[in-house]
Structures are given as C-alpha cells and as structure tokens.
C-alpha cells in the first residue's frame, strides 16, 4: 500500500472521529470530557496502524460503544481497546475497565489476585 493511500485512510478515520464530536459528547457518561475522550481515540488509532485499514464508520461505532460505557480508550489507561478485525473495528473492555466499572457501582470494595497453578 502506498504512503498516499495510507495518509488518505488515516485522515478519513481521524477526521470521522473529530467530525462526530457532538455525537460522542451526547453518548459520554459520568461527566467524561469529550476532548480528552477523542484524544484517547486518536492516540489508540495512531498507535495501532491496522485501525487505519478499518471502515471509518466501524471505528466510530466502536468509539460510541466505549463512550456509552464510560470507558476511556487511551492506550495509557488500558481500560478498553479498539480491535481491528479485517476492515471492521470492534470495542473490547479490558480487565482494568471491568474493575473500574465494578468500583463505580459501589458494590465492590476491593479486588485481589492470587497465582493459580496447574491442578489447583
């Protein structure tokens, strides 16, 4: 694939996210900042070049899913991920996102982990 084609696809995907700011803002929960959320989405796209091959609409729909759940897609936070499957993008909540959502319900006070060995 040529550099010009990649640049055009990159522009399409990133422009779709910026153009949808009003729709994203309407879907955000819990007082999340729209600009920060969009920056997280843009960073995720820039860090995973395979997302540039995805249909921009599928990337946008995946971002909407994350916004509606209140999951920031910034790769540094690792709360949720944009996963490319061919030309389609899907949103997936990470384990840290599940922990965050659990704490937000106030039904969970703490988590702990232990090593699991074979035959346990």
CA distance 82 to 70: 14
> What's the confidence (pLDDT) of residue 5?
55
Percent of the chain clearing pLDDT 70 (strictly above): 92
- Is residue 114 domain-resident? no
Sign of CA dihedral 35, 40, 41, 43: positive
Domain membership flag for residue 62: yes
Give the global pTM: 0.83
Residue 30 — very low, low, confident or very high, per pLDDT cuts 50/70/90? confident
Residue 102: CB atoms within 10 A of its CB come to 13
Task: For residue 44, give its domain range.
Answer: 3-104
**Does 61 fall in a domain?**
yes
């Amino acid at each position: 694939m040529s550099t010009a084609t990649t640049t055009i696809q990159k522009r399409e995907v990133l422009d779709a996210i910026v153009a949808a700011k009003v729709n994203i803002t309407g879907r955000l929960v819990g007082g999340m900042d729209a600009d920060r959320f969009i920056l997280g989405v843009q960073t995720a796209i820039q860090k995973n070049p395979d997302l540039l091959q995805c249909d921009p609409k599928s990337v946008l729909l995946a971002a909407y899913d994350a916004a509606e759940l209140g999951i920031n897609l910034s790769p540094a936070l690792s709360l949720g991920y944009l996963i490319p499957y061919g030309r389609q993008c899907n949103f997936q909540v990470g384990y840290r996102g599940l922990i965050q959502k659990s704490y937000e319900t106030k039904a969970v006070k703490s988590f702990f982990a232990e090593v699991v060995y074979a035959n346990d």
